[in-house]
Amino acid sequence: MIAQRLQVIAPSETLKISGRAKELQREGKSVISLSQGEPDFKTPEHICDAAIKAVRDGHHGYTMNPGTPELREAICKKLKEENGLDYTPAQIILSNGAKQSIGFALYATLDKGDEVIIPAPYWVSYPEMVKLAEGTPVVVSTAFENDYKMTAEQLKEAITPKTKMLILCSPSNPTGSCYSKDELKALADVLKDHPNILILSDEIYEYIVFDGEHVGIAQAAPELKDRVLLINGFSKGFAMTGWRLGYLAATTDIVKAVGKIQSQLTSAPCTISQKAGEAAYLSPRDSVKKMVEAFRERRAYLVQALNEIEGVKCFNPGGAFYAFPDISAYLNSKTPSGDEIKTSTDLCMFLLEERGLAAVPGDAFGEPSGIRLSYAASMEHLQEAIKRLKEGLAALSK
Ligand SMILES: Cc1ncc(COP(=O)(O)O)c(C=O)c1O
C-alpha cells in the first residue's frame, strides 16, 4: 500500500528518544529533556499584537502564492541592511517554515542521481529530503578538532561530475559551529571552479550568535550569490516555531520553480503569520538580543560543566542553542546491569531510562561520537541535567 519512494527514507531517530521521554513522563518519572530544538521563550509581545490585529482587521484570506508583497519587501530590506545582499521581492518565496523551503528547493533543483554534499554532523532532515527528491546524499565527516566544520580540502575531495549541490548550515544544528568569513571564502574558492554546483545555505539560526556577526556564504563570496539558495525564517530568532514561517531567497528562476511546486502542494503560508513576520522584521531586535544573552549565559555554564566531566570534550559553540560534546570515551562500555553501550543511541537510551535525561544521539546526525544537548532550557534544568549525566557516565565500566 505504501509507495516505494518511502522505502529509502529513515524515520526520525530523534523521535525515538523524545517519544520514550514523553512515555516516561506520563508514567510519572522525572525526566529532564535537553532534546528540544526550539527556544524556551515566548514570541515577543509586539509580534503577537500584530497577529491579533491582523485577525481583527480581517486578514483572513489567502495571500499571493509566494507571500505578501509587504513581507517580501521587508525581507529584502532586512537582507540588504543586515546582510548586505540585494534581492528583489520576486526573488523571495515564503513557506510554512524553513523546512518546507528546503524540501521544495531540493525538489525544484535535483534530478535523479544528482549528488548533494552534506557535511556531518548534519541536521537530520537533509539526507532524507535529498533522497525523497531522488538525489544522492554524499556525507562528508568533519573533525571535532575543526569544530566539525568542513575544510576546503574535504570539499574538493567530495566533488564529482555528479555533484549538484552543497548544503551548509551555519550556525549549525546540531553542533552550534559557525563558519567564519575566511572559512566560507576558502570553500567558495573551491566552488568557483565548479560553476554548476548550487549552495543551499541554511541560516535559520542567524540571530543566535555569540561571537561577532553572522556571515553567510553569499556575503563572504558575492560572486557565488546567484548559485546560493538562502534559507531563513522566523522560527528560532523570534521564538516563532509554531507560527510556521520561513523563506527562500534565490534567483528568480529558482524561486519561480519553487513557486510552481508550492502552488500545487501548499500555497502561501498562513496570512496571520505573515503579518506577524512583517512586524518581526520591521521592528528593533531587542527581544532577540535578550534571548541571545540568556543563551550565552547558559552556554558558558554548560560547556564548562561538560568539560569538567572526565572523558568528555566540548568546544565552545559560536551559535544556535546546542552543545555537541564528544562522549566517545564512554562507548564500548557496560551498564551496571551488564548491558552493552556500543553506540551514542545506546548511551542516550541508558541516560534516559536510568537517569531520566533526554539527549539526542550523534548517530541521528551522522556523527557517532557525540550527543546533542539543547540549552533551550532553564539553568536549573541544565544543572540537574549535568548532575544526571555525570552520575550516568560514572556508572559505566569498560
Ligand atoms: C538547521 C535547521 N534548518 C531548518 C529547520 C526548520 O525550521 P522551521 O521550523 O522554520 O521549519 C530547523 C528546525 O529545527 C533546523 O534546525
- 310 and 277 housed in the same domain: no
Same domain (yes/no): 14, 136: no
pLDDT of residue 5: 86
Number of domains in the chain: 2
Q: Does 47 map to a domain? A: no
The preferred substitution site among 236, 247, 365 for testing ligand 1, maximizing ligand atoms within 8 Å of CB, is 236
Exposed, middle or buried: residue 125 (CB in 10 Å: 0-12, 13-18, 19+)? middle
Task: Output the DSSP codes for 275-341.
Answer: HHHHHHHHS--HHHHHHHHHHHHHHHHHHHHHHTSTT-B-----BTTEE--B-GGGSSEE-TTS-EE
Q: What is the pTM of this model?
A: 0.97
Is there a single domain that holds both residue 131 and residue 242?
A: yes
| Cα 308 to averaged position of ligand 1 atoms, centre (Å) | 31
Are residues 333 and 231 part of one domain?
A: no
Same domain, 129 and 150: yes
The CB of 47 under 6 Å from ligand 1? The reply is: no
End-to-end CA distance of the chain: 46
pLDDT at 25: 93
Q: Is residue 306 part of a domain?
A: yes
Which of 243, 261, 282 represents a domain boundary (last residue)?
A: 282
CA of 40 to the centre of ligand 1 (A): 15
Q: Is the CB of 202 under 6 A from ligand 1?
A: yes
CATH number assigned to the domain comprising residue 14: 3.90.1150.10
- Residue closest by Cα to atom 13 of ligand 1: 37
Residue 56 belongs to a domain: no
Which pLDDT value is given to residue 93?
99
What is the model's pLDDT at position 398? 87
pLDDT for position 166:
99
Structural domain ending residue among the three candidates 230, 258, 282: 282
Considering the domain architecture, whether residues 34 and 66 belong to the same structural domain is answered as: no
Q: In the structure grid, which three cell numbers stand for residue 277, read together? A: 513576520
Ligand 1 center to 171 CA (angstroms):
12
Give dist(CA 63, CA 69) in Å, integer: 9
Q: Has residue 52 been placed in a domain?
A: no
202 CA closest ligand 1 atom index: 3
Judgement on whether residues 133 and 262 belong to the same structural domain of the protein:
yes
How confident is the model at residue 259, as a pLDDT? 98
* Residue-level pLDDT at 15: 73
141: part of which helix (H) or strand (E)?
strand 136-141
One domain, residues 168 and 258:
yes
Same domain assignment for residues 75 and 36: no
Domain boundary, last residue among 238, 253, 282:
282
229 CA from centroid of ligand 1 (Å): 15
User: From the first residue on, what is the mean pLDDT of each consecutive set of 10 residues in the chain (398 residues)?
Assistant: 87 78 94 93 98 98 98 98 98 98 98 98 96 97 98 98 98 98 98 98 98 96 98 98 98 98 98 98 97 98 98 98 98 97 96 97 96 97 98 96
Provide Rg for the chain, Cα atoms: 21
Output the pLDDT for position 71. Answer: 98
Distance 334 CA to ligand 1 centre (A): 35
Identify whether 360 is part of a domain.
yes
Query: For residues 19-46, b (16+ Cβ closer than 10 Å) or e, as one string?
Result: ebbeebeeeeeebbbbbbbebbeebbee
Mark whether 235 and 345 lie in a shared domain: no
Is 51 part of a structural domain of the chain?
A: no
Q: Which atom of ligand 1 is nearest to the CA of 234?
A: 10
Full domain range(s) for residue 105: 61-282
Q: Whose CA is nearest to atom 16 of ligand 1?
A: 173
- 50 in any annotated domain: no
Residues 135 and 188 in one domain: yes
Q: Residues 228, 311: one domain? A: no
For residue 9, what pLDDT is reported? 86
What's the CATH code of the domain at 78? Answer: 3.40.640.10
55 in any annotated domain:
no
